[in-house]
Amino acid sequence: MIQQLSVFLENSAGHLGELTRALGDASINMHALMVADTEEFGVARIIADEPHRAKEVLSAIGFSATLTPVTAVEVPNRPGGLADVLESLGNAGINIEYAYCFVEPRGECAIDVFKIDNDTAEQVLQDSGYRVLVPEDLYSPDAG
Amino acid sequence: MYQPELESMPRHELEALQLTRLKELLATVYERVPLYRKKFDSAGFNPMSLTSLADLRNVPFTVKDDMRSAYPFGMFAAPLRDIVRVHSSSGTTGQITVVGYTKGDIDRWADLMARTYVSAGATADDIVQVTYGYGLFTGGLGAHYGSERLGALTVPVSGGNTKRQVQILRDFGVTVLACTPSYAILIGETAKEMGVDPKELPLRVGVFGAEPWSENMRRQIEELLGITAIDIYGLSEVMGPGVAAECVHQHGLHVFEDHFLIEIIDSETLEAVPDGTYGEVVFTTLTKEGIPVIRYRTRDISRIIPEPCVCGRTFRRMERITGRTDDMLIIRGVNVFPSQIEQVLAGVPGVAPHFQVVLTKKGALDNVEVQVEVAADFAFDEVRELERLQRRVKGEIESALAVSVAVRLVEPKSIARSEGKAKRVVDLRDQQGGA
């Protein structure tokens, strides 16, 4: 599965900047960033190289950072692409905690990331003809 | 004055009376209260050896923990059949402290509260609305008995239901209001919302206590309600309200020294400080039978105002309470220790026991925000998990403190620390021109 870096953020000025600067200074490249927020705080979800090291870098300067296993699939970059994936999961009765998408620079495929608390999800996606991505497809993995 | 022969007694007579009473008291507690006997013995203090008020410095102190460990009745100096009432402290530190009163205690307390009203400018012709809580808290019944003793018409409303308070204030033609200063503001503001101008009412005097307040707040209350606002002082361990009260000159609280000995000490060296110097207030009761206290350390900080008062009372004055030697907070009249919050947080996974309490005023009332650091190793990735955490922390703090709070989750290590220790309390209530 993909290791997503999840970081707690106070909703105040400069915090996301501080986070991304720290990763930059440690020469860790980010591939995707999504922030879910409320009025008071947020969670930054990041796909980055060397996620274990990234977590250590952030923890060391006082961020509350954790690694979350998520599922990523490659989806044709065309209208309805995501809807098809969701339909496959929905038909199998699988609930999605959250999802976000990004497009690889090549632009042929979109990457859909799902947080799913269901062990059969990856199998269902494969059976529906989707390529479930391994870490190497997205980032340079490191050992935890 | 309610008891002019006592309240304006020449100092040398007063001191002679104090010494006689103190000697008797020490002999009594040594004989009847095991805790005092043990304390005196281990300090090598013989109660018979005291020959002057200055010798008081040789007597061991009593602290809140002594009273806690004696829970419930261990420090009573009178047999239970002679105790006719108990009250308890408003403390929420887990163990309440219980104080007992004999018939004589209740009788003297009523006199002292009657003195308090008269000192504030009230008479038997007044109508007194008692808005302090009735119950284990000493405020309600203490204010009630004193008002009746004075012969005033006493309206025992107790706390809460602010609109009804305003209605009664207006309909009964109430002239004296007894409550906490912050509640007085709420009553005034509620009256305005109801279309009642509090300044037009017959209300003329406020007898306010049970929480620290400032000169700013006094002016605010006097302006809002069109009254004279008088500061009164007391604590359940010593008796309840009626230990000290301002006179109409509003410059310091006369300590009712025929019944209570006041000392101001340096809380580090435990030595008395000269009059006029700030320190911890220490009280010895001189006439209490149910639960006398000897050199009880209140943790309140004040100083003696040594100059005689123009009102003619010979009792020395203490300045309004300016702070605490410990970190106790008084929030909406409830005693709160930051350590209680720390204990709660230690039991909640996902947060660090690092927090900061930010106190502000929302209108008249205290507003409490507790900022809590999320644990550095807390595994989460969903906003709703954080919201769940926030709700849990809020719920647990509220049930521990009996005060409603807002909780804000903040990043690990984001709360400023000095010398490794976080600053636990930021009290902005004063800066806002409030309490």
* B181-207 confidence digits (pLDDT tens): 888 988 998 899 999 999 999 999 999
Residue B203: φ, ψ to 5°: -50, 130
Report chain A residues whose CB lies below 8 A from the CB of B412.
8, 62-64
CB A69 within 8 A of CB B384: no
Q: What is the pLDDT of residues B257-313, one digit of tens each?
A: 999 999 999 988 999 999 999 999 999 999 999 999 999 999 999 999 999 999 999
Q: Are B383 and A6 inside 8 Å of each other by CB?
A: no
- CA distances, B76 to each of B81, B89, B102, B263 (Å): 11, 15, 10, 23
Q: Averaged over B346-367, what is the pLDDT?
A: 84
Q: Is A39 on the interface with B (CB under 8 A)?
A: no
- Tell me which residues of chain A, numbers 55 to 74, contact chain B at a CB-CB cutoff of 8 Å: 59, 62-66, 68
Q: Are A40 and B413 inside 8 Å of each other by CB?
A: no
pLDDT at B252 over 60: yes
Indicate the average pLDDT of chain B. 91
Closest CA–CA distance from residue B408 to any residue of chain A (Å): 7
Q: Is the peptide bond before A79 cis (omega within 30 degrees of 0)?
A: no
- Highest mean pLDDT pick, A31-45, B168-182, B344-358, B418-432: B168-182
The model's confidence at residue B423, banded by pLDDT at 50, 70 and 90, is low
pLDDT at B210: 85
pLDDT at B341 over 70: yes
pLDDT-above-70 percentage for chain B: 96
pLDDT at B421: 45
The model's confidence at residue B420, banded by pLDDT at 50, 70 and 90, is very low
- Highest mean pLDDT pick, B87-96, B102-111, B376-385: B102-111
pLDDT at B417: 60
The model's confidence at residue B433, banded by pLDDT at 50, 70 and 90, is very low
DSSP class per residue in B133-175: PPSSSHHHHHHHHHHHHHT-EEEE--S--HHHHHHHHHHTT--
The model's confidence at residue B363, banded by pLDDT at 50, 70 and 90, is confident
Q: Is B388 on the interface with A (CB under 8 A)?
A: no
pLDDT at B98 over 90: yes
Q: Averaged over B407-432, what is the pLDDT?
A: 73
CA distance B212 to B333: 9
Predicted TM-score (pTM) of the model is 0.68
Residue A21: φ, ψ to 5°: -65, -40
pLDDT at B435: 37
pLDDT-above-90 percentage for chain A: 67
pLDDT at B90 over 80: no
Q: Averaged over B355-368, what is the pLDDT?
A: 85
Report chain B residues whose CB lies below 8 A from the CB of A41.
383, 386, 408-410
pLDDT at B111: 98
